């Protein structure tokens, strides 16, 4: 893990309030899909790093991609970044998605809701390289107002299904509705998105008896496991904390759904 | 040039350490920070048994600062000794163990357990815990309760005892004097200021615990004032903290009367914060022709 | 949509006013700010006789805030009535006169002098003055002294009395209850947090007075907590302040339990700060479908 | 007085750490030499406006010039300003130099030390327009390290004398030394610079029996007379404050030297 300046190489608007930037950073060397970085703002009044998932990685070029929604000060600053600007980054952080257990035969289902989709893109990319062939991706969006950002990119790596809140594209409903509607089969689910969606996926996975790995979010201060700010309640006593709380930034952000109380 | 300071017979290669709870046990940052360069490592608060802490959200940003309501989650003293203390044995720096508890007995249990641990240089007693005995009044805000716990801890402690004071009081000198009178070997301050933040769109408190402790540069001017008041009220050494970000800030606390300083939430912002302070202090001494860091301690009156 | 609030029988067209000492008598900003739009104008503290205040420097910047040690310079009540109050008669807004003194008699003299001034809607008694009687302990940090002065003022006051509390205390609820018990009609808080800043290159305090009061967004989380605690401790209305910069901040204080709010040092940063708050509150109410501002007062518990 | 955004039209480095910018602002309409503006930084952590004198004014073009030394956060930010950037400004503030009393015959002496010189440039410019013909300017500088910034500009309006701390140009010593060395005659002095220089000028003026107007500095919070942060001790009771303290931002920044206790 390192902390240092990363230089903006490309910056684009993907949809209303959704931006993508590629950054030059040494973090790319060791980064894995599902990990994240903490991005510092340039303001002395906003001192906590902003956790943003690594959406894609170009190891050789030494670049990572961040895709994010503008919600407040830090993400707005990042959205205004111009090529050549630099941001202080710490990372890579967290465990990432457990891809080692996969074999070429594994049926993988990626489920991403809104700004939860981007982190799965890097994973989809990597699955391809690993030789995993049966990859479905169910992407949930608000609908007309938000755009189907990155959906096209996923098509390179997966059978893509869409769910929208307003029914303007694909299934009218949630990503879980889309799985049922299309009767999508899977051995393993990787998911990222808002908490209600992750809860629903946890239920779906339990019901279908398949394992699901979900990426969680929580307010973070350090990102390295030092402050104990970002915990999630766990079924078993956590090996590090010795209580039923795991640090999302360190033991996560990706957890097996049945292990966490959400 | 001498940057070494001594507190209660313990020598520090420089006066810079982390503030408890902002640096884990050092392990967490050891990939990025050379722990050997620090004056000391102050560990996250540890109790006699594991604590779960508060529900989340536990942290939030505020203007030039942050709030936390971790609730002192910790794995308990047994795991701490086996794992964290063992890890720290690999490093050439002082270890100060921050101790928390719900009752005097809890504190004393931890203090006794650490008595024979050679790697522990000092004990820092956090008396600003939420949810302690005494009808909800923290030991840290009542001079009598503070004296009582200080005496109880001192009676059993084998290492020098630092009492860590709360800033949420009318009179810091009264609290500092109470700690000194009861036998404390040193005091440290400030802990966080009790604060609150409301999410007006959700009509809810931002932190699940409703209130949380405010720290960071925002509170630095309050901390400097309290360190100044405390160090002029007692003869025992003072460790100063509260919003230190740069070497200038660290020097400000030293000039106000602190013998050593701790960097807290700023470690989260920049992992090199303590190293930057250490190097910056050396640079300042060189530039202004100061031979011994003791020359600047308490030099502004 | 109703943004009107009532405090002790006095109607405010909206809950936004300035914090004493940050807006002069309104005159100073009247070229840039339409005073008629404000819920009230709170004047700079005024004493029975002119005060010189402290030596300079009296102000300095801090992270997301500032410190001041003006020392309550003021031209005295006679000039105030003749000039400032007369000026304010031209405006359609409430006038709250902030009163300071060195002894109870000083305060009472000012209060009596203002008794027949029709333009004065309320009195705000600043009991966090430095250098007052009682062996150096400000009235604002001792519940008994607070009761005493509140009673004395109430005995003579013809307008409703707001007691302005200091945040430099262990228990805000105790102070709020003391004011209420002694007959205060309302309380306002917070005044500034006592703080200190050192210029390390000159080895001197930045402010000539050594200490100063910290205000601004930096302290907002502390202020929100105290306003919440106070408004849950007493039945009289609370006017909240401390670091308000935007409408969101103002709403945060209202939700915490304040019936009205005051903007302080942020007026210095942006002269339109209060107008921005007023317009922002209206916008928030419209967007979230709130008909009456009273719906949000104290709505977060 | 107004507060609003001002747009940078020109930005240049005059000497080591000394910068000049021209800003488009309505403030130009009413600004007078000796008045100042408060410049807000772009940072939420630095909330007090920075008082900077108006060095020059182009009323018709609606522009003012600020010349400043980089000493901390705000002045650094200002020094990095690019054409097209905008800064929030409040002004014009203060009384300005009392030019009304001058007649074409008046012998005027301008005395500027370091970054105190720039505000006198706008005055020199105005004096010319007023028909004042006998204008001397004594400008004090550090010397070789700092450069003789703006000295050339003053030559358009005045007989220029230089004093340097290191003796690299003109008189080796202070501006007061230069006045004595060159036996400069004057009916009135306008001065701006560091406090020790102003004290020396006060003495000089008293000794020579000429009136001196000096521009003072103090830490400011509001700039409009509301906070009472910026006072100076006065000989007589101040008409506004009714104590022996005048507000520098409002009754000043220009005071008759003998009226203030410095
Ligand atoms: C592991 C992880 C990965 C994430 N990956 C992405 C991503 O790839 N793309 C994306 O758009 N968002 C992502 N988020 C959410 C992202 O962190 C927040 O949207 C962002 O921090 C908002 O910052 P801000 O300054 O714009 O908002 P502000 O509201 O100004 O932020 C104030 C504070 O709250 C924190 N905060 C606000 N929202 C969140 C949130 N949802 N989760 C955690 N902290 C928050 C900020 O970090 C900051 O400390 C991720 C969060 C986590 C925990
Ligand atoms: C009426 C007036 C006119 C001035 N005109 C000029 C000018 O034309 N050119 C120029 O270079 N400087 C001028 N100054 C000084 C200028 O205000 C400071 O250099 C500037 O505020 C420094 O800000 P900073 O953010 O760079 O420094 P910081 O040290 O970061 O500032 C911190 C705080 O201290 C204040 N401060 C620091 N130094 C001074 C000072 N000398 N006087 C008042 N406040 C100060 C800042 O305004 C700010 O609030 C003037 C000052 C006054 C009072
Ligand atoms: C996340 C967090 C956790 C903390 N945990 C502890 C703790 O366990 N024990 C303790 O005595 N102080 C604890 N503190 C207080 C700090 O040690 C320090 O006193 C305070 O934060 C002020 O310093 P700062 O402004 O530099 O952060 C904690 C502070 C933070 C921000
Ligand atoms: C320059 C200055 C002068 C002040 N003068 C007074 C005063 O005369 N009387 C008073 O009761 N409070 C005074 N205060 C305190 C403010 O009214 C307010 O309580 C405090 O600043 C917190 O609000 P803020 O953070 O919005 O500034 C003063 C504050 C400042 C910054
Ligand atoms: S953010 Fe600090 S432990 Fe996870
Ligand atoms: S700066 Fe506020 S009165 Fe002058």
Summarised one tens digit per residue, pLDDT across range B118-145 is 999 999 999 987 655 554 567 889 999 9
pLDDT single digits (tens) C269-281? 999 999 999 999 9
D77-102 mean pLDDT: 94
- Which of B196, B217, B288 lies at the smallest CB-CB distance from C225? B196
Q: pLDDT below 50 — which residues of chain A? A: none
Query: For D113-155, how does the pLDDT look when each residue is reduced to its tens digit (9 = 90+)?
Result: 999 999 999 999 989 888 898 999 999 999 888 889 999 999 9
Q: Which domains does chain B have, with CATH numbers?
A: 5-54+69-196+214-295 (3.20.20.70)
Domain boundaries for CATH 2.40.30.10 within chain A? 2-93
Q: What is the CATH number of domain A107-217?
A: 3.40.50.80
**Model confidence at B268: pLDDT above 70:** yes
DSSP string, B59-103: EEEETTEEEE-----B--HHHIIIIIIHHHTTSSSEEEEEE--SS
Residues of chain D with CATH 3.40.50.80: 107-217
Closest-CA residue to B25 (of B92, B98, B126, B78): B98
Identify residues of D whose CB sits under 8 angstroms from chain A CBs: 43-46
CB A19 within 8 A of CB A76: no
What does DSSP say about strands A2-15 and A18-24: parallel, antiparallel, or unpaired?
A: antiparallel
The structure's pTM equals 0.97
Residue A101's pLDDT is what?
80
pLDDT digits (tens, 9 = 90+) for C218-243: 999 999 999 999 999 999 999 999 99
Q: How many CB atoms within 10 Å of residue B199?
A: 16
The whole-number pLDDT of residue B128 equals 80
Our answer to whether residue B129 is catalytic in this structure is yes
Neighbours of D196 (CB within 10 A): 11
Residue minimizing CA distance to atom 44 of ligand 2: D219
Take residue D143 and report the two structure tokens written for it. 């010397």
Distance D217 CA to ligand 2 centre (A): 8
| Chain D contact present for B63, CB below 8 A | yes
SS3 state at C247: helix
Atom of ligand 6 nearest to the CA of D220: 1
Contact criterion met (CB below 8 Å) for D92 and D1? yes
**Given this model, what pLDDT does residue B137 score?**
60
Query: Which of chain D's residues have a Cβ under 8 Å away from the Cβ of C68?
Result: 221, 227, 229
Atom of ligand 5 nearest to the CA of B28: 3
User: What average pLDDT does this structure show over D24-50?
Assistant: 97
What's the confidence (pLDDT) of residue A99?
86
**Res B93: pLDDT:** 97
pLDDT band at C131 (very low <50, low <70, confident <90, very high): low
Whether the pLDDT of residue D178 is over 70: the answer is: yes
Q: Show which residues on chain D lie within 8 Å of chain C, measured between beta carbons.
A: 1-3, 40, 44-49, 88, 90, 218-232, 240-245, 250
Residues of C with CB under 8 A from a CB of B: 62-65, 67, 141, 168-170, 193-198, 200-201, 203-205, 211-212, 214, 216-222, 224-225, 228, 243, 248, 251-252, 255-256, 284, 288, 299-300
Pick the range with the lowest mean pLDDT from A121-130, B41-50, B200-209, C289-298.
Answer: A121-130
Rounded to whole angstroms, the Cα distance separating D49 from D220 reads 8
Tell me what the mean pLDDT of segment C194-213 comes to: 97
Topology of the domain comprising A2-93: Elongation Factor Tu (Ef-tu); domain 3 (2.40.30)
- Taking the C-alpha atoms of residue D170 and residue D163, their distance in angstroms, rounded to an integer, is 5
- Kindly write down the DSSP assignment for every residue of B189-238, as one continuous string: E--PEEEE-EETTTTEESSTTSEEEEESGGGHHHHHHHHHHHHHH-SS-E
Q: Which two tokens stand for residue C125?
A: 């008694």
- CB–CB contact A230 B23 (8 Å): no
Pocket of ligand 1 (CB under 6 A): A 36, 48, 50-53, 67-69, 71-75, 115, 118-119, 217-220, 253; B 61
**pLDDT of C132 higher than 60:** no
* Percentage of chain B exceeding pLDDT 90: 95
Of chain D, the end-to-end C-alpha distance in Å amounts to 29
CB of D247 closer than 6 angstroms to any ligand 6 atom: yes
Residue A39 distance to chain B (closest CA, Å): 9
What is the distance, to the nearest Å, from the Cα of residue B216 to the centroid of all Cα atoms in its chain?
13
Among A144-158, B190-204, C203-217, name the one with the lowest average pLDDT.
A144-158
Residue from A232, A236, A239, A235 nearest A253 by CA: A232
For residue D48, the distance in angstroms to the closest alpha carbon of chain C comes to 6
Give the position, in ligand 6's atom list, of the atom nearest the Cα of C268.
2
**Interface pTM, i.e. ipTM:** 0.97
Helix/strand/coil (H/E/C) assignment for every residue in A114-180? HHHCHHHHHHHHHHHHHCCCEEEEEEEECCCCCCCCCHHHHHCCCEEEEEECCCCCCEECCHHHHHH
Tell me the CB-side half-sphere exposure of residue D179, using CA atoms within 13 A: 26
Is B149 within 8 Å of B179 (Cβ atoms)? no
Q: What is the pLDDT of residue C160?
A: 98
What pLDDT, on a 0 to 100 scale, did the predictor assign at position D185?
A: 92
Query: Does the structure show a pLDDT above 70 at C291?
Result: yes
């Amino acid at each position: 893990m390192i902390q240092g300046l990363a230089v903006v190489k490309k910056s684009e608007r993907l949809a209303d309030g959704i931006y993508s930037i590629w950054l030059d950073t040494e973090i790319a060397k060791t980064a894995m899909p599902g990990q994240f970085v903490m991005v510092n703002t340039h303001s002395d009044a906003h001192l906590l790093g902003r956790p943003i998932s690594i959406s894609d990685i170009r190891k050789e070029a030494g670049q990572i991609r961040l895709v994010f929604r503008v919600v407040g000060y830090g993400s707005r600053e990042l959205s205004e970044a111009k090529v050549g600007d630099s941001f202080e980054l710490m990372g890579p952080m967290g465990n990432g998605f457990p891809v080692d257990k996969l074999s070429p035969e594994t049926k993988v289902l990626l489920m991403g809701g809104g700004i939860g989709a981007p982190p799965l893109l890097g994973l989809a990319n990597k699955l391809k390289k690993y030789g995993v062939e049966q990859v479905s991706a169910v992407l949930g969006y608000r609908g007309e107002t938000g755009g189907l950002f990155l959906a096209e990119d996923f098509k390179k790596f997966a059978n893509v299904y869409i769910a929208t809140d307003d029914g303007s594209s694909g299934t009218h409903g949630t990503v879980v509705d889309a799985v049922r509607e299309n009767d999508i089969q899977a051995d393993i689910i990787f998911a990222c998105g808002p908490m209600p969606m992750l809860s629903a996926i946890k239920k779906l996975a339990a019901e279908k008896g398949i394992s699901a790995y979900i990426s969680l979010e929580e307010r973070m201060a350090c990102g390295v496991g030092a402050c104990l700010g970002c915990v999630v309640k766990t079924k078993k006593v956590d090996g590090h904390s010795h209580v039923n709380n795991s640090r999302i930034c360190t033991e996560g952000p990706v957890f097996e759904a049945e292990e966490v109380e959400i | 040039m001498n940057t070494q300071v001594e507190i209660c017979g313990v020598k520090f290669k420089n006066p810079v350490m982390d503030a408890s709870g902002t640096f884990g046990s050092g392990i967490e940052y050891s990939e990025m920070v050379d722990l050997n360069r620090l004056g000391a490592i102050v560990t996250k608060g540890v109790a006699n048994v594991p604590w779960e802490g508060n529900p989340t959200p536990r942290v939030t940003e505020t203007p030039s600062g942050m709030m936390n309501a971790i609730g002192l989650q910790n794995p308990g003293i047994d795991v701490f000794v086996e794992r964290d203390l063992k890890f720290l044995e690999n490093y050439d720096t002082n270890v100060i163990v921050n101790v928390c508890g719900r009752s005097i007995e809890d504190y004393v249990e931890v203090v006794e357990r650490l008595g024979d641990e050679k790697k522990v240089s000092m004990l820092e007693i956090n008396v600003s815990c939420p949810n302690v005995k005494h009808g909800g009044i923290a030991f840290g805000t009542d001079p009598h309760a503070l004296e009582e716990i200080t005496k109880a801890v001192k009676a059993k402690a084998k290492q020098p005892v630092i009492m860590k004071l709360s800033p949420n009081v009318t009179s810091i000198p009264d609290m500092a004097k109470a700690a000194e009178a009861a036998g404390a070997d040193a005091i440290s301050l400030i802990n966080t200021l009790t604060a609150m933040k409301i999410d007006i769109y959700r009509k809810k408190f931002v932190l699940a615990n409703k209130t949380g402790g405010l720290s960071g540069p925002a509170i630095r001017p309050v901390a400097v004032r309290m360190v100044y008041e405390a160090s002029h009220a007692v003869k025992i050494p003072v460790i100063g903290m509260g919003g230190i970000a740069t070497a200038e800030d660290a020097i400000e606390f030293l000039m106000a009367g602190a013998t050593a300083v701790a960097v807290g939430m700023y470690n989260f912002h920049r992992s090199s914060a303590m190293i930057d302070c250490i190097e910056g202090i050396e640079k300042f001494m060189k530039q202004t022709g100061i031979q011994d860091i003791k020359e600047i301690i308490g030099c502004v009156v």
